[in-house]
């Protein structure tokens, strides 16, 4: 039997004779080197800093006191048996429920403990930001600092749609983290995630900004996540994502992981500009009273841009305008393309929805939009409706290849009510027209913003349009834009 060592082939006894002394001398040399460096480790670190060698230690020493542990308790429902604060599995609960003598209604209320992280953002006011899901339904919230102090926290407010919450604690000599300028954050920037993973204590991990503007984790929420490969694990929720200067870039909120629940290098943080806006709402009202512009919107895709002659413009296309809304009062029309809000460009429908949703009801904003190739500027007042979402993003009903063969049309003038346009009398529920949103009773009044007075007009305009067609219909007294082939 032989053993191969660094390209040298020798019988095994000879190899052992060579290797064992080498290993022994290697261990001795390593131990001697460590002993020699032990007394001057700090001096070596100072020399490394002076030489410009990278280390995160000075930054972390300055801000780590601002990242805290959040400990929560939740009361379990009656007869929801638990052991050690953890709910029993379904099978065991069913077993115990068969025996009433195990039920102790006069005993202590069972509780479930939870843990997460938080960030002190205002030392004077004692304000701590964390995730909504960390403190949701908690009967008590305790904030523990890295120096060993702790305090019961008051919940000022929380917002499930952005997964943010604001707490207040009363302690002296707190450390806070300054907010970064989100406009300077780029993909590839180095970042550090700080939190309390698995409840083991404060931990810092480093990585880069992997992507910006991530969305789609929950379509009902307001999402504009920073994606990072810095390790974020269970318990990191609510912790800080900071740049190399120690400024807060985002609040860690979610990960994509396998069945084990650990880090796979895909973590998400709520960007600091959204954090700032939400905290303003929570501090003032205890909740986010979302603004309502009153439009349904869709992305301007390349096909839409070609059909409407928009060139390379980006923005959000208005698919419908709500009666009595701020958008209607301002003069926004169906098939307008909103390209700016308050002087800042709009890239897509999600971006407009997020930004309007963080405005306060009653705010006046300037809108810039494209209509028939012309730029128009309007002023709108943000309304509200019981905190409901802003401008709804229409579903991706997309254009269908079946055309209009599934819909029966006739001149609106042939209807007893008279009028111009083309009336939809019937639509097959499995047809392309139905999938695109066309319904019986709709009256088609325009194709690609060109007025339709009759079936002849409609057929001619659709034939000339070729590919994607924007159909404006009148439905229950308001205009709705549908996109189809």
Strand duo 392-393 + 295-299: pairing: parallel
Q: State the catalytic residues.
A: 133, 163, 237
**What Cα–Cα distance (Å) separates residue 106 from each residue in 38, 75, 98, 103, 113?**
60, 15, 19, 9, 21
From the list 154, 385, 163, 165, the residue with the least C-alpha distance to 289 is 385
Give the mean pLDDT of 348-359.
87
pLDDT band at 5 (very low <50, low <70, confident <90, very high): very low
Provide the CA 70 distance to its chain's centre, in angstroms.
Answer: 21
Q: Is the pLDDT of residue 118 over 90?
A: yes
Alpha-carbon gap, residue 365 to 341, rounded angstroms = 7
Alpha-carbon gap, residue 189 to 228, rounded angstroms = 10
Phi and psi for 116 in degrees, rounded to 5? -160, -160
Alpha-carbon gap, residue 18 to 125, rounded angstroms = 68
One-character DSSP codes across 351-385:
HHHHHHHTSBTT-EEEEEEEETTEEEEEEEE-B-S
Q: Where are the alpha helices (DSSP H) in 188-338?
A: 272-285, 302-307, 326-330
191-247: pLDDT as tens digits: 999 998 887 888 999 999 999 988 877 666 788 899 999 988 888 889 999 999 999
Q: Looking at 164-178, 256-270, 369-383, 393-407, which range is the least confident one?
A: 393-407
CATH architecture, domain defined by 295-393:
Roll (2.30)
From the list 297, 302, 386, 313, the residue with the least C-alpha distance to 350 is 297
Alpha-carbon gap, residue 77 to 123, rounded angstroms = 36
Alpha-carbon gap, residue 238 to 254, rounded angstroms = 9
For domain 407-484, the CATH superfamily is PDZ domain (2.30.42.10)
Alpha-carbon gap, residue 191 to 242, rounded angstroms = 6
Which tokens go with 207? 């990585």
CATH architecture, domain defined by 58-79+107-286:
Beta Barrel (2.40)
- Looking at residue 235, its pLDDT comes to 81
Which tokens go with 127? 């304000």
- Looking at residue 80, its pLDDT comes to 52
Q: Is the pLDDT of residue 44 over 80?
A: no
Provide the CA 401 distance to its chain's centre, in angstroms.
Answer: 33
Mean pLDDT of the chain: 77
Strand duo 422-427 + 443-447: pairing: antiparallel
- Looking at residue 27, its pLDDT comes to 42
What is the helix (H) or strand (E) element at residue 24, kind and residue range?
helix 12-38
146-160: pLDDT as tens digits: 999 999 999 998 998
Domain limits, the chain: 58-79+107-286, 295-393, 407-484
- Looking at residue 285, its pLDDT comes to 80
Give me the residues paired with residue 340 across strands. Answer: 345, 368
Which tokens go with 4? 């191969």
328-347: pLDDT as tens digits: 889 999 989 999 998 889 98
For 169, other C-beta atoms within 10 Å of its C-beta total 22
Q: Is the pLDDT of residue 61 over 80?
A: yes
Q: Is the pLDDT of residue 316 over 80?
A: yes
**Tokens 């052992």 — which residue?**
16
Alpha-carbon gap, residue 383 to 372, rounded angstroms = 27
Q: Is the pLDDT of residue 260 over 80?
A: no
What is the helix (H) or strand (E) element at residue 48, kind and residue range?
helix 41-50
pLDDT band at 52 (very low <50, low <70, confident <90, very high): low
Q: Looking at 229-243, 256-270, 318-332, 367-381, which range is the least confident one?
A: 256-270
Q: Is the pLDDT of residue 323 over 60?
A: yes
- In this chain, the answer to whether the domains covering 58-79+107-286 and 407-484 adopt an identical fold is no
């Amino acid at each position: 039997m032989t053993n191969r060592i660094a390209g040298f082939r020798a019988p095994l006894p000879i190899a052992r004779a060579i290797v064992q002394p080498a290993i022994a001398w290697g261990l001795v040399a390593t131990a001697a080197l460590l002993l020699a460096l032990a007394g001057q480790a700090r001096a070596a670190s100072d020399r490394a800093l002076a030489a410009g060698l990278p280390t995160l230690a000075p930054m972390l020493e300055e801000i780590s006191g601002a990242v805290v542990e959040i400990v929560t308790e939740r009361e379990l429902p009656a007869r929801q048996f638990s052991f050690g604060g953890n709910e029993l599995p379904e099978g065991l609960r069913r077993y115990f429920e068969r025996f009433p003598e195990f039920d102790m209604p006069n005993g202590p209320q069972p509780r479930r403990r939870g843990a997460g992280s938080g960030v002190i953002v205002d030392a004077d006011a004692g304000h701590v930001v964390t995730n909504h899901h960390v403190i949701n339904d908690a009967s008590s919230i305790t904030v523990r600092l890295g120096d060993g102090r702790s305090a019961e926290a008051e919940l000022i407010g929380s917002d499930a749609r952005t997964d943010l919450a604001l707490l207040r604690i009363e302690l002296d000599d707190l450390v806070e983290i300054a907010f970064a300028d989100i406009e300077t954050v780029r993909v590839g920037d180095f970042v550090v995630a700080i939190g309390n993973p698995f409840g083991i204590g404060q931990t810092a991990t480093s990585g880069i900004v992997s992507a910006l503007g991530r969305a789609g984790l929950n379509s009902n929420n307001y999402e504009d996540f920073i994606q990072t490969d810095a390790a974020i694990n269970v318990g990191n929720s609510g912790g800080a994502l900071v740049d190399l200067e120690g400024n807060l870039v985002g609040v860690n909120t979610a990960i994509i992981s396998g069945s084990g629940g650990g880090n796979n290098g895909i973590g998400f943080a709520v960007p600091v500009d959204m954090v700032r806006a939400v905290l303003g709402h929570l501090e003032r009202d205890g909740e986010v009273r979302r603004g309502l512009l009153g439009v349904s919107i869709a992305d301007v895709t390349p096909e839409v841009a070609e059909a409407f002659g928009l060139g390379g413009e980006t923005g959000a296309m208005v698919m419908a305008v709500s009666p009595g809304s701020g958008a209607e009062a301002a003069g926004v029309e169906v098939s307008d393309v909103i390209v700016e809000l308050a002087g800042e460009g709009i890239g897509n429908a999600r971006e407009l929805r997020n930004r309007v949703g963080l405005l306060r009801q009653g705010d006046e904003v300037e809108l810039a939009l494209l209509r028939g190739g012309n730029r128009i500027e309007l002023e709108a007042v943000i309304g509200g409706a019981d905190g409901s979402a802003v401008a709804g993003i229409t579903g991706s009903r997309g254009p269908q290849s079946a055309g209009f063969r599934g819909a029966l049309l006739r001149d609106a003038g042939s209807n007893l009510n008279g009028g111009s346009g083309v009336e939809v009398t019937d639509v097959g529920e499995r047809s392309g027209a139905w999938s695109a949103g066309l319904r019986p009773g709709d009256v088609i009044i325009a194709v690609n913003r060109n007025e339709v007075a009759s079936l002849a007009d409609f057929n001619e305009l659709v034939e000339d349009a070729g590919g994607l067609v924007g159909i404006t219909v009148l439905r229950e007294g308001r205009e709705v834009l549908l996109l189809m082939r």
